[in-house]
Every structure is written in structure tokens, then in C-alpha cells.
Structure 1
Amino acid sequence: MVSASSVSMVVAENGLIPLDEAYERCRCETEEWAKTFYLGTMLMPPEKRRAIWAIYVWCRRTDEIMDSPEALSKPREVLLNLLDQWECHTRSVFDGHAVNWLDQVMVDTIQRFDQPLQPYLDMIEGMRMDLTWTRYSTFEELKLYCYRVAGTVGLMSERVMGVDPGYTSAPWSTGANTSGAAVALGIANQLTNILRDVGEDRHRGRIYLPLEDLHRFDYTEEQLFEGVVNDSWKRLMAFQIDRARQWFRQSEEGVRFLAPDARWPVWTSLRLYRGILSRIEQNQYDVFNHRAYVPKYRKLIDLPFSFLLSQSQ
């Protein structure tokens, strides 16, 4: 049992402040660390974008327990204890208790958008996986990890985005199930992250690409750690990119069910994040020496196309 006092080790955020100032901190942090994602949030109504910023910062704090520079030097047992503390604290926040500014915005978001607790607990479980899993034998194993660390974000965001009443109020409607599409988009985004960050993850001793795929394309772990870009690697990466695009296509099916004011930002985020895959291809699959990203001018050019898609549904 984790004591309440020990939780302070992972939740110190300088106390309580005015709510608007707390949300502004979330906005600044999202803008700094998630530029493509942030652009999509700016297309949302103010209340929704603030909630998404709060959720992003909570997810970032969760990730920092495992992947901050300080975390890399901590023993496994210490990190597990910190995750236990964070879970305890998160449960307290869902009970309405706030001891710092991040808690404040989370309590407000939970109250406004009826957030489910389980995806937050699942994400913390995904962080625990990073302490015990440095390899994934099959895609099924990797998919579970992707759900926990990213598919959960789709479920967190789903109720903020809202569903178009036209799909739920008509007499013939059977309801709009957007959860599957929300999870699919999170998995697609995480697969994209994995492909973009192969070079960085190898320095942490982690290989997220399924080992069954490395074997299929005759590429070894040793070659990956050495950053070898050969024909086998290119075929392997082309296969992974195609898989990620399939998940993006699956996620598109649910966008039309979203509330009208959420479709444009979601289409924008989806298309821009998917654009990272094209940048990897343009870099000849060399993710060891070149970080794939979508340039700012491409983001601006894409905005009207995403808007047209959002209006055509």
C-alpha cells in the first residue's frame, strides 16, 4: 500500500494557482513539446482545447516517470514504486482531490467531460511494461503496448471531442461507436513514433519493432544497434509504414461520427502525424541519422485540405 505522503515524490507542481493560469501552463507545455498535436488543438473550441491540453500534460508527466533524464539512472524498483505512487495519486484526483495546478485542471476536465478512469490506469500499466519489456516477439504483443501508452489517449480524448447528435438522436440510429476509431488513431500514432524513434530507442536498449518482422526481412538486432541501412532494413521499414497507414485508415472511419467542431482538428492531427511516415520514406528510411518531422509550411498548407475533409462528412 502506497502512503499518501510518499506520493508527493512524483506530484510536486508548486501548489494550487488560479485555474486559468493552470490551463495556460498546460497550453505552453503542449506548444513546446507537441507542436503538430498543438496545432490541431488550436482548431478546437476553447473549452475543449483546454481539456485536451490538461490531458496531454498528465500523459507527459506519466511518461516522464519512465523516460526523463533523471529516470534513466534510477533502479527498476524505484521506478516501479514511483508508478505505484502516481497511480495512487491519479485515483485521488478522480475522487476530486487537488494538491497542485495539474490536479486542478484534471479535476476540472474530469467534471466537465466525465472522464473514465480506466484508460489512465491502463497508460500507467503501459509504463510498467517499459520496465520489463525491451523486446516484442510479435505484433500482437506490441499492439497491447501501443494501446496502453497511446490508444488510451484516444479514449481519454473521446468524450472531450463529443459525438455528433445526428448519429445518436435519429429514430433509426443504433448509436455511434467512436471508441474503436479513437484507439486505432492512438495505435497509429504510436507506431509512427516507434518508426521515427528507432535510432533513439536503441540507445536505451529497446527494440519496439516486432522480432518476428526482423526475422522475416533478414535483419538482425546487431544491425539495428549499429544503424545499418541496407535493402533488408528498407523492406522492413516499408512493411512497418504500411501497417501504420492501415491503422490510420481504420481510424478515419470514426471521424465522421465526431461533433462538427472536433472533425477539423482531428483530421488535421491525423493527416499531419501520418505525414511523418512520408518523411521517413523521403529520408530513405534512415531513422538513425535523420529525424523525420513535418515542416511548418507543410502543416499550414495542409490545413485547408483537412478543413474540406471535415466538411464533406
Structure 2
Amino acid sequence: MSVEHYENFPVASRLMPPALREPVAAIYWFARNADDIADEGDAAPEARLAALELCRAQLRVIERGGVPDDPIHARLARAVRAWSLPLPLFHDLLDAFAQDVVKTRYANDTELRDYCRRSADPIGRLLLCLYKVDDAESLAQSDAICSALQLINHWQDVAIDIDKNADGLPPGRIYIPLDTMARFGVTEAHLRDARCDDAFRAMMKHLVDDARALMRSGMPLARRLPGRLGWELRLVVQGGLRILQRIEQVDYDVFRRRPKLGRTDWPLIALKALTYR
């Protein structure tokens, strides 16, 4: 899995072929920088959006064949040109980060999945591009894995997200679709008051089951890809599934303790990845 703030990115590990570590790092730092602009610090929404628009302007410089004037985007420009990385995927990421600044509620699963399409799926597609994998089946399965990872991150961070504020918007950030909350009788007060009752547990079970099913729909890609890429992807998949198990082990009470991976999880994840069929 990934580190620190940008949790859906499999940071270039020792499993990554040496030739790919530089472009992967360039993609990571672009995404990490933009994500931090959207989420970190106490800047006003207008300032965050303006800073993200400057990132978009740097992408346009790359599109025109120019050299961006900051190190992060200059590094990205070299990777884009050397590996023919599709720039629309980077624009999608910026769209998602900008959306995080101005949108704190999702009406339904369609809205949420569209957000995942832009916030998570581009990362998988960029990595496949580095490995020159571009068939439709692989792209669809990569999208399923990446969206599942994004959803898993949301469900483990319910308590963290509700504390995030944005000026002029409803307090807190809620990624759980509002129609899903209504269907299970869960209100925003449940989240603000850290109320893990039967209704909340039933809703979380539904969300965990859906995320697991989505992850499993993408798992054939991890079985099919050879070598280091397949091994890395199997670790990512098993890590995501393990977090879902952690959510279940705390009886869906993500308020008292954030379900996350620890040292004792990694041997089991590695074993499952190794024996993955």
C-alpha cells in the first residue's frame, strides 16, 4: 500500500524495476503535491483552487512541449515525454482534488464512483502505461482495483473525514452516499457523535461487502500480469482486503480505532500474495 497522505498510490518499492522508479516517483510527487494543496493546511478554498489551477497551467506547458518552471512539474514533464504518459489522466486527478475542495457530500453511488474514476483510477492506468499494458480488460480491472482502494480508504477514514471543514459548505466531509445512509437509517449525527449502533454497523457491512466485491472483480488482473508488476499488484490487492478484514474485526466501529495495517499484517499479506491463484 502507499504512505502518508496519498493512500491509493503503490509507491515505487524494491519490487519496481529500476528503470521505472523515476517515472513512478514523478507521478507520485505530482499527485502528492496536488493532494496536499487540496487537503493540508488552513488555506481558504479559493486559495486552494487557485493553486490547483497553477498545477493545471503547468500541465498545459507540458502539452505545448515547454518546460515547467517548478521542480515537481519539470520532473513530471520528463516522465511524460520519455514514457508517452497520457496527460488527460493528470487532468482527471486535478479535477478530483479540486472537487474535494468544493464538494463534501455525495448523493448516490454514481456520484461517488465518478469521483473514484478521477481520483484513483488514473493512477492504475498510468502504471499500466509504464508497463505497456493497454488492453480494455486490463484497464477495466485496474479501475476496479483502484476504485476499491479509494472506497476502502474512505470507509476506514469515516471519523477523520467528518472532522474536515470547508468554508461555506456543510461541516465535515462525507463520502458515504446520502441515499445509502437514508436506506439504513443512518444520519449525519451518527458520524458527528461517533455513534456505532446497529444501523451504522449494517450500513458499514454493506459498504465493506461492496468494496470487497469490487476488488475481487479486478483480481484477475493481478493473477494475469507477470513478474514484478503482478507481485506488486497482488500485495496491493491483499493489503486492501486485509483492511476490510480489520474493519470487520472492530465490528465496524471505525470511530474508536482507525482500522489500518500493522507489522503483523505484512507476513500474512505477503503469503497470500505469494500463493495467489
Common fold: TM-score over 0.5: yes
| Conserved? CA contact 1:271–1:306, under 8 Å | yes
Give runs of aligned pairs for residues 281-292 of structure 1, distance below 5 A: 281-292=248-259
Does residue 301 of the first structure (1) align with residue 268 of the second (2)?
A: yes
Does residue 92 of the first structure (1) align with residue 64 of the second (2)?
A: no
Give runs of aligned pairs for residues 67-106 of structure 1, distance below 5 A: 67-71=39-43, 74=44, 76-94=45-63, 95-106=65-76
Change (3 A) 1:97 1:50: same
What one-letter code is carried by the residue in structure 2 that aligns with 1:80?
L
Match of 1:66 in 2: 38
Give runs of aligned pairs for residues 211-250 of structure 1, distance below 5 A: 211-250=178-217
| Conserved? CA contact 1:196–1:291, under 8 Å | yes
Does residue 178 of the first structure (1) align with residue 138 of the second (2)?
A: yes
Change (3 A) 1:214 1:35: closer
Does residue 151 of the first structure (1) align with residue 121 of the second (2)?
A: yes
Change (3 A) 1:301 1:49: farther
Change (3 A) 1:140 1:270: same
Q: What is the CA–CA distance in structure 1 between the aligned matches of 2:28 and 2:228, rounded to whole Å? A: 19
CA RMSD of aligned residues (A): 2.3
* Structure 2: tracts of 5 or more residues without a match: 165-171
Residues 52-72 of structure 1: per-residue CA shift (max 9 Å, x gap):
22212211111111101233x
Return the index of the structure with the highest Cα Rg. 1
Percent of paired sites with the same residue: 28
| Conserved? CA contact 2:11–2:28, under 8 Å | no
Does residue 42 of the first structure (1) align with residue 14 of the second (2)?
A: yes
| Conserved? CA contact 2:107–2:179, under 8 Å | yes
Match of 2:85 in 1: 115
Match of 1:132 in 2: 102
SS at match of 1:41: coil
Match of 2:177 in 1: 210
Q: What is the CA–CA distance in structure 1 between the aligned matches of 2:27 and 2:79, rounded to whole Å? A: 8
Q: What is the CA–CA distance in structure 2 between the aligned matches of 1:40 and 1:299, rounded to whole Å? A: 17
Residue among 188, 201, 211 paired with 2:148: 188
1:161 offset after TM fit, Å? Answer: 3.3
Match of 1:255 in 2: 222
What one-letter code is carried by the residue in structure 1 that aligns with 2:39?
D
What one-letter code is carried by the residue in structure 1 that aligns with 2:119?
V
Q: What is the CA–CA distance in structure 2 between the aligned matches of 1:299 and 1:230, rounded to whole Å? A: 31
Q: What is the CA–CA distance in structure 2 between the aligned matches of 1:100 and 1:78, rounded to whole Å? A: 18
| TM-score (normalised: structure 1) | 0.78
Q: What is the CA–CA distance in structure 1 between the aligned matches of 2:238 and 2:9, rounded to whole Å? A: 11
Q: What is the CA–CA distance in structure 2 between the aligned matches of 1:237 and 1:185, rounded to whole Å? A: 19
* Structure 1: tracts of 5 or more residues without a match: 1-29, 169-174
What one-letter code is carried by the residue in structure 1 that aligns with 2:35?
D
Q: What is the CA–CA distance in structure 2 between the aligned matches of 1:119 and 1:212, rounded to whole Å? A: 29
| Conserved? CA contact 2:194–2:255, under 8 Å | yes
